[in-house]
Amino acid sequence: MKNNPAFKNILNCNTPDEVFKYLIDTLKETIKSWDYFVNWKKVIHNYRDVEISLSLLNTLVGKKNIEAEALALLKEYPKIIGVVPALLAERDKKISLLVKPNSFDAKRFDFSKPMPAEDGVLFLKESGFLDLISDRSIKSIPDYFIGVEVGLDSNGRKNRSGTSMENLVEFFVKDICERNGYEYIAQATADKIKFKWNKNITVTKSSKRIDFAINTPKKLYLIETNFYGGGGSKLKSTAGEYSDIYHQWTRDGHQFIWVTDGFGWKKTQRPLRDTFNNTDYIINLDMIQKGILEELLK
């Protein structure tokens, strides 16, 4: 089906080899946008939630008798304790630690509920945080907290890169469906597809989410998307996985389209070519922009 007229009419590719070469030659280096770096809305939201506690803690900065001052503060304002894990870049509220040398006896700290002020001071002291504010290595706890949140948010960059690909593809999917009268589901599951269109698909896990399911008058199209800026073994396993998915959903009577992109494939072409040979459609963002996806759906 790589001999579909769309490839010849739109891309001037007359053979599968030419289609694959076009796919590789038009891979994009990046799909990152300005919001890739930091989700500032999330950072500021987390800050606003604890702003008062941070301001109260900030009164400890520069204090010499820091342990006594911290104990008095936590006793007067016990809710402050809840923000302590976040100061150490820890999202979990329940933490167990080995607190004695040469002992495997753990002490449990539960910051999700009121706890003795002494335990809060112990945690801040032994983690080294009290020393940092006492000698003014940290001059502003609110500013410090925002910095920690930015650092924690950087862990979400991989997810943002993944959703960026989905968002880009959905921009075209939505437009195509609106203009042609198709229905689609983003993050579709087998249950959602069965409920909405009374069509069955085989999945290995009931929780499996398909990036897009598009129902046309002739066929149900199932689309998966991803972007790989760098190479690695994951690309090979992904290619093999999608080959298996293609065969399964074809047996179900549906059409699978894999939308993938990124320079990572330039160094890992063989597994991509194997899947290209054994499936119907692998396309990239350039092909979608040129109109290939819309023609395939027709």
Q: How many domains does the chain have?
A: 2
Phi, psi dihedrals of residue 268, rounded to the nearest 5°: -135, 55
Q: Which domain holds residue 204?
A: 5-30+182-297
Shared domain check, 145 and 104:
yes
Quick one: 269 and 290 in the same domain? yes
pLDDT value at position 200? 93
Tally of CA atoms within 13 A in the half-sphere of 139 that contains its CB: 0
Interatomic CA distance for residues 86 and 276, integer angstroms: 47
Query: What whole-number distance in Å separates Cα of residue 269 and Cα of residue 124?
Result: 52
- The residue from 119, 137, 155 where one domain ends is 155
Q: What is the model's pLDDT at position 36?
A: 63
Residues 51 and 109 in one domain: yes
The mean predicted confidence, pLDDT, of the chain is: 90
The pLDDT score that the predictor gives to residue 232 is 72
Confidence of residue 32 (pLDDT cuts 50, 70, 90): confident
Structure confidence by residue, pLDDT tens digits, 38-81: 778 888 999 999 999 999 999 999 999 999 999 999 999 999 99
CATH code of residue 198:
3.40.1350
Overall average pLDDT of the 219-247 stretch: 88
104 and 60 in one domain? yes
CB 130 within 8 A of CB 67: yes
Q: Render pLDDT for 166-223 as a digit per residue (tens, 0 to 9).
A: 888 999 999 999 999 999 999 999 999 999 999 999 988 766 899 999 999 999 999 9
State whether 54 and 135 are in the same domain.
Answer: yes
User: CA–CA separation, 246 vs 279, rounded Å?
Assistant: 6
Q: Which of 145-149, 162-166, 215-219 has the lowest mean pLDDT?
A: 162-166
